[in-house]
Amino acid sequence: MDKFIIKGPCKIKGDVLISGSKNAALPILASTLLFDKPVEIKNLPQVKDISTMISLLKSLNLKVIENKKNKSLKIIKSKRVKTVAPYSLVKTMRASILVLGPLLSKYKKATTSMPGGCLIGARPVGLHLNTLKKLGMKYNIRNGYINAHVKNNLIGADIKISKISVGTTENAILASCLAKGKTVLRNCAIEPEIKDLTNFLNKAGANIKWTGKRTVKIIGVESLKSISYSVMGDRIETGTMAIAAALTNGNLKIKGFNPKLINTELEILKKIGAKIINGKNEFTIYGPKQVKNIKNLNTKEYPGFPTDLQAQFMTLLCKANGRSIITENIFENRFMHVSELQRLGAKIFIKNNKAIIEGNSHLEGAELMSSDLRASVALVLAAMSAKGKSIIQRVYHLDRGYEKLEKKLKKIGVNIKRLT
């Protein structure tokens, strides 16, 4: 099992190119089940979750031609597409549930295992099922599998999603593309990755229009046309790199991402003392000599502060010049990194869904254990700013969502190596 060895403290300096977005690529890959014609997807990140989704599509009998050198692939429909998503693949990644909507819409039936992923909260699939049910899906759950079907076609409907959910919004959009008639989805998640998905589908001939801040109208079409599309840059990797620069009093140019899409995060970084200069599809960040505290930081649905950067910001606030409080409003089990940060010397106390960070911590290297994807990278950041050697075990969590992270960090000044 791979581990990282990091010797700190480090100072970030140089340029970094952001990889393609995992969270945008996953629903776009799932959507290829809707196509009869070939689809080319470019700027794919080479991370574990993407390879899992590719394996899932292959198991459904789609032909996948990969060009890893160019970070692209072509997907071609086979004569006989399968409609069963097996437990062996679905158990490792929650985004696997995104094949349910396209399979139902295109092939009128789907059997998918209940999904897995990071253990950061309940994240029930009930929202997906209740929403698809309103489009005409019938289903039962037996032996850990969702067995779903539709009599003729999914039928458009006016649906208010009961809770803002990224995955449910994506699944509903995918299911509605080929449904009969008009679908209106209200209370949608509006993350940039969802807008990237709808942009991709519209370029392929779908009829999707955002009619309000959280409302989307979809007119079903007969089929989608062949398309070549480049996935957007990764928003969470961008935020993570910006935090790394802020944490280490660094000087980093971040390329391949539109800074307007993370305006909330950049404004918070300015509050802690960072200086940021925006460019076109890039920005430069200068970290402060002394990190300022944030009295209350609340995770919230986009365009609010993202839960996927909560652990990384907590690491940053350990170095702040006073007490900070982070309130986690999205997932109920997303403070698992706290005990590991405490091993480095962080002064953090948990009260319900609040983390109270005392700041002014003098971190010292230690042996650490990753618990989930974003917690893993928070420990990497902490080890970079700690004095001495840290060993981070179980970095396979990190490999699910960050492409060649140690190589990128090494290029910008981090003393890091991977041991297999």
115-153 pLDDT tens trace: 754 443 444 688 999 999 999 999 998 988 899 999 999
Give the mean model confidence (pLDDT) for residues 70-78: 96
Local structure of residue 136 (DSSP, 8 states): T
pLDDT for 122: 41
Average pLDDT of 93-113? Answer: 93
* CA Rg value for the chain: 22
Domain layout of the chain by residue ranges: 3-19+233-419, 22-230
Question: What are the tens digits of pLDDT across the range 150-192?
Answer: 999 999 999 999 999 999 999 999 999 999 999 999 999 999 9
Class of the CATH domain delimited by 3-19+233-419:
alpha beta
- Determine how β-strand 39-42 pairs with β-strand 72-76: antiparallel
* pLDDT recorded at residue 118: 40
pLDDT at 124: 67
- Render pLDDT for 8-58 as a digit per residue (tens, 0 to 9): 999 999 999 999 999 999 999 999 999 999 999 999 999 999 999 999 999
**Which tokens belong to 180?**
């009969």
**Domain covering 22-230 in this structure, CATH number:** 3.65.10.10
Q: Has residue 195 got a pLDDT over 90?
A: yes
Tokens of 134: 């309103």
The candidate with the shortest Cα–Cα distance to 241, out of 418, 13, 6, is: 13
Q: In angstroms, rounded to a whole number, what is the distance separating the alpha carbons of residues 386 and 345?
A: 9
Measuring CA to CA, which residue among 157, 152, 59, 144 is closest to residue 107? 152
- The beta strand positions in 150-212, using DSSP E, are 158-160, 182-186, 207-212
What pLDDT is stored for residue 115 in this prediction?
A: 74
pLDDT above 70: residue 219: yes
Same fold, 3-19+233-419 and 22-230: yes
The whole-model pTM stands at: 0.95
Q: What is the pLDDT of residues 196-207, one digit of tens each?
A: 999 999 999 999
Indicate the Cα dihedral angle 234, 88, 41, 228, nearest 10°. Answer: -140
pLDDT at 270 over 90: yes
- Residue 372: pLDDT band (50, 70, 90) is confident
The model's pLDDT over 275-292, given as tens digits with 9 standing for 90+, comes to 999 999 999 999 999 999
Paired residues of 219 in beta bridges: 182, 207
Q: Which residues pair with 228 in a beta bridge?
A: 40
Q: What amino acid positions are annotated as catalytic residues? A: 118
Name the nearest CA neighbour of 251 among 278, 279, 276, 271. 276
Integer Cα distance of 291 and 246 in angstroms: 8
pLDDT band at 88 (very low <50, low <70, confident <90, very high): confident
